Structures are given as structure tokens and as C-alpha cells.
Structure 1
Amino acid sequence: MIEFYCPHCDKLLKTSPDRAGLEAKCPGCGELVVVPTPSTEGDQFGEPHDAVVDDHSDVRCPVCGEPILPHQSRCSLCGAAFERDQSNPERLSRQRETRPFPPGEVISEAVRIWSKRWPLLAAAFLLKCVLIGLPAVVLLGLFAIVQSAFVPNQQGNDDVVVGILLGGTLLLTLLTLALTTYLQAGSFVLHLKVARQQPASIGDLFAGGPYWSRMFVCGLLVNLMICLAAIACFIPSLIVQAIFLPYGYILVGENRSSLDCLSRSKELTDGNWGSLLLLVILSIACYYVGMIACYIGLVLTVPLVDLFSAVAYERMLQQTPMSKLNSDS
């Protein structure tokens, strides 16, 4: 039995010796990998080296606590990059990048990931749109039944119909809002997994249960700030969007409270406003491009825009906090 690690996602893979030298698709990330041969990877397969899986159990990611394999330089769970202490290989410290991050690198990385995972992302977007529109279709059908059940000319029926329509509209609004928030939280989970090149499925779209109430509060506050900023001018609203761009990924990735997500978002984006502003403008342009072909293009452009934010969040996680930079200077 040949055992080796996927060079893309660090998943431990096993296959029969007769597959040595052949290409195979990693079940974890979907990337093509070449099965190593004994002559080049002799220390990674065979029964005598089973302990390789266990001898790293005391080495944990400094961010999320995930076990780290001896050859890893990035956590396979949270995506954090780290470096080992030369005097003590079991001691890990985060690798830090300078600010601001290069927007071109984020865009190219997002496009690269999107080109490999777009079928999943497009299917998730379509399913989300269908589910969000489902309550409206059901209630519109009920409205038609209610209206046909009453004789319009009979006195008093008009008031009953109006009351039912108003109550149904309120119910529709609440159902749509709750469902949209729930699916949006799941969408953040899905896109964060894809950005980290972790195993992801369309079922992740329904993983927003633990976050939906906090997502609702965050979304309400952020949209309120964007609207207030837009009253002054269009540019301030773009800046507010840039500052709070990663709040959803902070919520599902770090499991923080609503207000902590907003303060954490400001902390992460501090020093990156210029790069994030470019991403926001590019995202708006992508939305318009997607709407050109009767909104059909949104199936492709919206997931790409979401990946811009997810990859940018991952890049900002690896940066030195501005407070540390200021103290050092």
C-alpha cells in the first residue's frame, strides 16, 4: 500500500502499488496528483511508517488547534500559515505578511479556485435563489385561492381579502428574510471551505443554523451603516463595504458574537482599505457584467465575487496586527 500526502490540501492518501506513477484525483480537494513511486517517496509508504500519522499529535495549529503533520507549512483546517522554531520543531508561530495585501494576487487566486470549483458554486447559488423564492411562490398561490374563494361584489369581502393579503405579505417578508439569512450563513461556510481548498459540498449551504441569528444582526448593522454612508456620498458607502467585507467569514470561521465580528472586521481590514476598495469596485463591476445577459451571468459572477472576499479574508489572517506594527515603529 502506498501512502502519501496531497500537495494541495495535505490529505493523507492511500492506494495500491500498481498505481505508482499514475495521475489520480484527490478526494479531498479534487486536484490531480501523481502517485509517488518507492524510488522517490520511499519514506512515505508501507507499514513500517504508520507512526507518521500519530507522531504529530502534540503539534497543533496556533490558530484553531488542528493537528499539524510534520511536512505542513499551512493548517489544512483554517488555512493559517506558520513557521517552526528551529530549536524546537514542535513550537509553531504564525507567518505574518505586510500590509496592504496585493489585490492582484487575491484576484488571481480567487479566479484559479473558481475555475476548478465553479460547478459546485454555481449549483449552490442556483439552489439558494430557488429556495429564497419558494415562499413567495407558495404564498402567491395561496393569495390566488383566497381571492377566488370570495365574491368580490359581496359586501365585506374586500376587507377580509385585504386583511389576508396584508398578513400574508408580512409572513412572506419574515419567512424570506429568515431563509435568506440562514442560506447566506451557509454560503459563507461553503465559500470559506472552497477558498481554503478543503472538502466542500452543496450540503454546506445548509450549515448556517448555528450562525443565522448573529448573521442577521451583523447584516442589519452593516447594511444600516452602508445606507447612512450612502446618504453623504457614494464613496463613503464603498469604504464602509470595504471595512466590513469579511464579517461573514469572521463569523463562520472564528465563531464570534455579532459585535465582535464587526470589531474584528475593522481590525483585520485596517491598513488594507485601498486593496479592499479595489475589490469592492471590481465586485460591483462583476455584478453588472452578470446582469447583462438577463441576469443569467450572475450564476457565475456572484460565486466569483464571494471568493474574492473569502480569499482576501484568508490573506488578512496572515498579516501582523496594525497595533503590533505601530508599536514596532
Structure 2
Amino acid sequence: MTIEFSCSHCNKVLKTSDDKAGRRAKCPQCGEPISVPMPEDVAASDDGFDGFGEFDSESPVSEDQSFLADSPVREEDSFLNQETIDCPMCGAPVSVGAIKCEACGETLQASGRKGGRWEPRVFSIGEVFSRTWEVYKANLGMVLGVPLLAGLIYFIGAFAIGIVAALLGVALVSMVGGDMAPLAQIPVALLQNILVYGILFYVQLGGQLTFLKIVRGENPELNVMFSCGPFLGRMFLCFIIYGILTFLGFLLLIIPGIIVALMFWPYSFILVDRNLPGIESFSEARKVTAGNLLNLFGLSILLGLITILGAVVTLGIGLIFIIPFTYMAQTVAYAEMTNQ
């Protein structure tokens, strides 16, 4: 006899044998812990059963309580052997672990790992390069186009701001004159730097968010690049804090500076990925990089060597392809560290 019931989290219809009643496991569609209900005839006759009533959906499922480790039920009745799930949007069957429904294009999960759950993990440099190459090949047009567009926007914006700042500086000098002329250019230079960094952060965050969505298989539109305006204020704050921390680290000697730089490096990714308050991005960055500092250092060295060698061998022309690859590798490293 089989028990048929629905997951209380995603409403997926599941089946298992009646000897698994009262046991717990994780739903194959949403990954949430669920409890197999008692058969109706047994539940009606056994009013003293209290195990199911005390089930906490947030508590972890221990190995001894999960029927995943027990002997399997019949293949035709068990939901553990299913190779497909139903799309929650259109109902079409899709492969377990799929990121998108092929029928309607609905995004099913943020990643193919553990139901898309965001959680720190130790990554492998080999896995980063392998995954980067696959994503790079599959999305070559977007991967090459995003950095090119970002660089073009930054160059045009910085050039225009520079011209306006120069004209404004000349006007102020002519108005003030004398010994006060150099001081008059200080606020102009300060405003110029703020605006130029604003453009830099805008295209940086937009590019990171676009690349992150590509890595997660979400097929983003190009307009994602222009959606990071709300993060600019927090990015300025984080950039200043990161600069101070790194500077203090290097004052203590080179190695502490490298450690601090690597420890908080993912703050900008975390900012656009999780939309956290600026300061919380640093606390999350420490969690993400825990156990990954050596791998991050090795990855940075390898990417630097690839960039230098590629530039020398191709006389700089290859940077058109190498720089997007290094940016993608950094994005994949972040995705691997956060289990995405």
C-alpha cells in the first residue's frame, strides 16, 4: 500500500510506502523537510499519535529519522526515483535540478545546487576554471559584450566629466584669481572624482549582477546592467571601508594586507546578490571566504599570469577575450563559494 500526499511547502504530490508513515525526509522539488502523514485509517484509530504534530519544518532532518537511508520502496511508487518535476508555472515536466522550464521559460531555482540555497562552502580552483570555461563558451556574446559596454560607458562618462571639470576649474580660477586660485580647484577635483567613481561603481555592479545571473543560468537581458543605481550609496561606503581595512592591513606588513583584501573581497558581489545593508556585506564576506583564502590567493595569481601572458603573446589584442574570462572566473568563484 502507498501513501499519496502533498508537500506542505510547494504542493508537489509525492508517494511512498505506508511503512514510511511518520518518517521525515526532504522534498525532491523544493528541498524542504517534510513528514510523511499517517494513513487515514490508522490516524483515525490512533488518537494518541503526537510525532507528526510536533514536526518543525525548520529543524534539520537527522539521518536516523530520514527514510532516505532506509531500504527503497518500489520504484513505481517512490518519489525518490523521479527524474522530473512539474513546473509550478505551466505544469510541464522538467528535469530534477533544472534551472529553467523549457516550456515556458520560468526560472525554477537560483542554481542547480541544493535547491538553490545560498550557503558558504570551500571551492576548488579546478572547478572554477572548468565551470568558467563552460559558461564562457555557452554565453560568449554576452560575456564579451558586457565588459565592452561597461568600459565604453565608463570612458565616455569619465571623459565628459573631465571636460566639464576642466572648464569649471578655469572659470573658478579666473573668478577668484591670486593665491586662492589653486584652492578654488579643490572642490571641483573632489566633485570630479565622486562622479567618475560613481560611473565606475555603476558599471561594475551592473556587470557583476549580469555575470552572476549568467552563471546561475538565468539568461539576463542587457538592461540588468543598468539596474544597480540603488546600490551606489552603499557601494561608496563599502569601497571606503574596504580601502581603509586594506590600507591598515598593508601597514602591518604585506601578508596581513593580502589576507584582509582577500577576506572582504566578495563584498560587492554580496551587495548586489543579497541586497544587504553595506556593513553587513563585510560580515557575510568573512563567512564566505572562511577556508577559501588560500584558494582565492592561488586563483588571483593564476588569473594575473593568464592576463599578462595573454597580453604579451597576443600583443594586447587577446585582452578582448582574456579580461571577460577573468571577470567570469571571479564571478564563478563567488558562485562556488556561496554554493550557487
TM-score tier by shorter-chain length is: 0.5 to 0.7
User: In the aligned structure 2, how far is the partner of 1:69 from the partner of 1:142?
Assistant: 58
The match for 2:95 is 71
The match for 1:248 is 268
Give the aligned length. 247
Task: Report the CA distance between 1:307 and its aligned residue.
Answer: 1.9
The match for 1:191 is 211
Is 1:312–2:333 an aligned residue pair? yes
The match for 2:137 is 115
User: In the aligned structure 1, how far is the partner of 2:158 from the partner of 2:131?
Assistant: 37
The match for 2:114 is 82
CA shift in 2, pair 1:287/1:227, >3 Å: farther
Deviates more, 1:208-217 or 1:167-176: 167-176
Max Rg structure: 2
CA shift in 2, pair 1:125/1:54, >3 Å: closer
TM-score by length of 1: 0.61
* Equivalence map 1:7-156=2 (5 Å): 52-54=86-88, 71-73=95-97, 76-79=108-111, 81-82=113-114, 100-142=122-164
User: In the aligned structure 1, how far is the partner of 2:251 from the partner of 2:311?
Assistant: 25
User: In the aligned structure 2, how far is the partner of 1:258 from the partner of 1:194?
Assistant: 24
User: In the aligned structure 2, how far is the partner of 1:258 from the partner of 1:251?
Assistant: 7
Task: Report the CA distance between 1:191 and its aligned residue.
Answer: 1.2
Percent of pairs with identical residues: 24
Contact 1:146 1:161 survives alignment (8 Å): no
* Equivalence map 1:226-237=2 (5 Å): 226-237=246-257
The match for 2:304 is 284
Is 1:210–2:234 an aligned residue pair? no
The runs of 5 or more residues in structure 2 that have no matched partner are: 1-84, 100-107
CA shift in 2, pair 1:252/1:240, >3 Å: same
The match for 2:197 is 177
The match for 1:302 is 323
Matched residue of 1:200: which SS? coil
TM-score by length of 2: 0.60
Is 1:266–2:290 an aligned residue pair? no
User: In the aligned structure 1, how far is the partner of 2:175 from the partner of 2:276?
Assistant: 56
CA RMSD of aligned residues (A): 3.8
Map Cα deviations across residues 272-323 of structure 1 (whole Å, 9 max, x no partner): 222122112223334434654676544433322222222122222239xxxx
Which amino acid is 2:97 matched to? S
Which amino acid is 2:337 matched to? M
Matched residue of 1:173: which SS? helix
Task: Report the CA distance between 1:267 and its aligned residue.
Answer: 0.8
The runs of 5 or more residues in structure 1 that have no matched partner are: 1-50, 58-67, 84-92, 320-329
Contact 1:56 1:70 survives alignment (8 Å): no
